[in-house]
Amino acid sequence: MSSDSGPVESLTSKPPGSLATVVELKLPEASRPRLMELGLLAGTVIELVRFAPMGDPVEIKVRGYNLTLRKSEAEQIFVRFNA
């Protein structure tokens, strides 16, 4: 499957276990560099690991390690989910 197929959706729009490719970070300018330094770059494959019981925070696996994000941040990360 090519990287430009499928709709672009918020990271939080699918259930845990979903694999996705990062398309765009629509975060405030102050938050973007921190996440990019942690490996969240366009084209990076990530896995949605789990949501906390109340839905916040969200845990993802990126570049071989687990990263926990605020739900408000995860909602601003746009991805294409892999089949």
Tell me the pLDDT tens digit for each residue of 4-35: 678 899 999 989 999 999 999 998 888 888 88
Total domains in the chain come to: 1
Domain range holding 38?
8-81
Is 51 domain-assigned? yes
In a domain, 3, yes or no: no
Query: What pTM was estimated for this model as a whole?
Result: 0.84
Q: pLDDT tens across 27-48, in order?
A: 888 888 888 888 899 999 999 9
The kind and range of the H/E element at 73 are helix 71-74
CA–CA gap between residue 33 and residue 7 (Å, rounded)? 25
Per the CB < 8 A criterion, the answer to whether 48 and 25 are in contact is no
User: Which residues have CB under 8 Å from 76's CB, separation 6+?
Assistant: 10, 25, 26, 27
User: What burial class does residue 15 get, using C-beta atoms within 10 Å of its C-beta: 0-12 exposed, 13-18 middle, 19+ buried?
Assistant: exposed
In this structure, of 1-5, 51-55, 63-67, the range with the lowest mean pLDDT score is: 1-5
Residue 1 is assigned to a structural domain of this protein: no
Q: What is the CATH number of the domain that holds 24?
A: 2.30.30.90
